[in-house]
Chain A
């Protein structure tokens, strides 16, 4: 019953999966208002719609202090200062009406700002533009904003990307965004926005999280206009100063775009574990080059907001998962962006206290301290029959889960049995081994174990071709995460491929076939589940509902 309720809470339709849970919390009371569609004079329409749909986050006075605001690290915008990020106008200038309408329509990926195009009629959205502007009176007196004349940028090529990298270095974008673009630059721990809230330099390897859109075109615009109200400056002056040409700014945009996958990552429910070539051991090290040959599966994470100390805006929003087995042994590598190798003194001092002070819930257990980064992989203790899976949040008393735990301040992993979040017993590493590396804002952690467990009574035994449910938990220590305050995934399936590749030509083809089929299966299943929960919230909550 409780879990169903949580699922309903997550029903709020938000733009981006990874941040849905957050928007959901804000949505509680909005859902309540849904049932009473309002009627009013046209002139008051904007106010009415705003108070119904926007004020939970942006506040009745438009000052960004709605009841849900404290749960978001990227705070809802305070409109009273007239600062807008996604514009076609020069740095510091007010946006055009079209700019505001556009952002209302498409939302701001990577934040809780939802896309409203499909949810509100055009007239309402127009009325909202006027109402949002009314919170900053100078809109009425400032001259109408003039959009910049923006060029269009030709195609990306290896040469252009290489040229772009040169400018990334000579401008020193890495001061904030880091050498590999993951937002881990030397100045990143100290950044705050115009309201004094901590702000993360964008992770340029996750373009699908960019506030203003992911294309090279979008990036070029952001570089020309800056993101007002954030530390991200405008670089238009570099063109005037003759530092670089417009074409070179395009190269830089292409370079930034090239840091992310060409297409936004798709969620696949089944994570395929490839079979290593015969008689070759599975990789022990996180840095083993064979990992580059293996497909990586994208797993989005959401904040744990169901129980205990909640994480409304977790630092890690996704992991990439790879697997290799050799018929008797399994290796899983989990890769994710993390701006600091916690506990990092700089981040612990300059970042963590500000995050803990900014995010609800505040208080006990939230003192800044040396917290490690952590990863847990969860399996059921026994392979369940059919589609049943234990409660995704560390199991329950009837259906325990196995946990493989890794933390950045220890060299050996831990095995644990979970019978619920408050009932976790660790049993030492046993035959489980791990290896980890943190390079340029990225963790790569490998777990390795024989198919046969230490203790067949309480631990999972892997079998070829028999998909095993698997879920992930990640904590960023320097963001103050630990305990139940972290990022979680729903259940995925880990499938150990039976086939030993006959030849290198056939293997990829087979993999393609199998993945395709399983992908289809996953999609159908996902669709069905979507229909069941009717409202398509977070995977976590959907699962919570379907397992209760």
Chain B
């Protein structure tokens, strides 16, 4: 017992060093304890025959009236206030013409389970600009570099409160333009906030594979190059909870799905977490078929977490 511990101590720095080298460095080791070794290997190929791939494309709709965004008083941070041409507001609901943006869509389960995908070499970037996170919802793959950019020239802290990954809380003064972290386990979602500016919040979805997207302002999203087969696709929204749909991907085809959220689903508080996502849990999930997927109401999802 003692010995194996000692061995760990000797080996850990090496593992960490290897991981850091593979991920492009810059990570001070704060992100999460288990080193993301997947990403460290030489550029891996896709774990299936790409010629067989198909796509999913879709739309997220919103029915009813979304709450009007609340004004944010940035008087305490003049630099940020000055960056906004129109008064800054909360970003919970991005609704335009019945379409819903900032919904995180990802493959909850399917043929890709257990496959190991190459980690994108490109970092996912979250900009702190005008004392808001841009984008408001971000997706990263396990092991992918997540870059926090500070375009404001004022102090922000980036405090992440995951439940599966280890947390972090980075102090990032105005002069430090970029800080990197990597998240090491799939997690829907990791909430971020800045405590210098209490109104700043944001969400990061972490998945084991590249099949994830954030719906555009027009509500559209695309999941490309999936191995053929039947998938459960989940849509997550910070105030509306989650919904799932099954979809069948066929080689060379693009399957269409539509998620519809309604006013009645609005949870009073932000719902950061769906059910914690166990990467090894491929068991059956409650689901609908076709285009009217069963949804988990936000509040119910929150109660479960």
- The answer to the question of A190 belonging to the interface, with a C-beta cut-off of 8 Å to chain B, is yes
Q: Which residues of B contact A469 (CB under 8 A)?
A: none
Q: Are B30 and A143 in contact (CB under 8 A)?
A: no
A192, A232, A241: residue with the most chain B Cβ atoms closer than 10 Å? A241
- The answer to the question of B216 belonging to the interface, with a C-beta cut-off of 8 Å to chain A, is no
Q: Are B30 and A243 in contact (CB under 8 A)?
A: no
Q: Are A92 and B167 in contact (CB under 8 A)?
A: yes
- The answer to the question of B134 belonging to the interface, with a C-beta cut-off of 8 Å to chain A, is no
- The answer to the question of B58 belonging to the interface, with a C-beta cut-off of 8 Å to chain A, is no
Q: Are A146 and B196 in contact (CB under 8 A)?
A: no
**Interface size of B as a range:** 35 or more
A-B contact count (CB 8 A): 113
- The contact string, 1 if C-beta is below 8 Å from chain B, for chain A 90-109, is 11111000000000000000
B28, B76, B161: residue with the most chain A Cβ atoms closer than 10 Å? B28
Q: Are B171 and A237 in contact (CB under 8 A)?
A: yes
Nearest-neighbour CB distance to chain A for B175, whole angstroms, equals 6
Separation of A229 and B159 alpha carbons in the complex (Å): 9
- The answer to the question of A176 belonging to the interface, with a C-beta cut-off of 8 Å to chain B, is yes
- The answer to the question of B31 belonging to the interface, with a C-beta cut-off of 8 Å to chain A, is yes
Separation of A235 and B159 alpha carbons in the complex (Å): 12
Q: Which residues of A contact B176 (CB under 8 A)?
A: 237-238, 241, 243
Separation of A480 and B79 alpha carbons in the complex (Å): 33
Q: Are A237 and B169 in contact (CB under 8 A)?
A: no
> Given A94-B33, A186-B76, A234 and B169 touching (CB < 8 A)?
yes
Q: Which residues of B contact A82 (CB under 8 A)?
A: 166
Q: Are B175 and A243 in contact (CB under 8 A)?
A: yes
- The answer to the question of B98 belonging to the interface, with a C-beta cut-off of 8 Å to chain A, is no
Separation of A142 and B176 alpha carbons in the complex (Å): 30
Q: Are A144 and B8 in contact (CB under 8 A)?
A: yes
Q: Which residues of A contact B93 (CB under 8 A)?
A: none
Q: Which residues of A contact B175 (CB under 8 A)?
A: 170, 243
- The answer to the question of B173 belonging to the interface, with a C-beta cut-off of 8 Å to chain A, is yes
Residue in A143, A170, A233, A236 whose beta carbon sits within 8 Å of that of B12 in the complex: A143
- The contact string, 1 if C-beta is below 8 Å from chain A, for chain B 254-295, is 000000000000000000000000000000000000000000
Q: Which residues of A contact B171 (CB under 8 A)?
A: 171, 226, 233-235, 237-238
Q: Which residues of A contact B198 (CB under 8 A)?
A: 187, 190
Q: Are A94 and B170 in contact (CB under 8 A)?
A: no
- The answer to the question of B179 belonging to the interface, with a C-beta cut-off of 8 Å to chain A, is yes
Query: Could you list 13 further interchain pairs (A-B, Cβ under 8 angstroms) beyond the known A81-B163, A146-B12, A234-B170?
Result: A93-B33, A146-B13, A170-B175, A172-B155, A172-B196, A226-B171, A233-B158, A233-B171, A234-B169, A235-B171, A237-B171, A241-B179, A243-B176
Q: What would 24 A/B residue contacts be, using CB atoms closer than 8 Å?
A: A90-B29, A92-B160, A92-B167, A92-B169, A93-B30, A93-B166, A143-B8, A143-B15, A144-B5, A146-B13, A146-B16, A171-B173, A172-B174, A187-B76, A187-B198, A190-B195, A192-B195, A230-B169, A233-B170, A234-B169, A236-B30, A237-B170, A238-B171, A243-B176
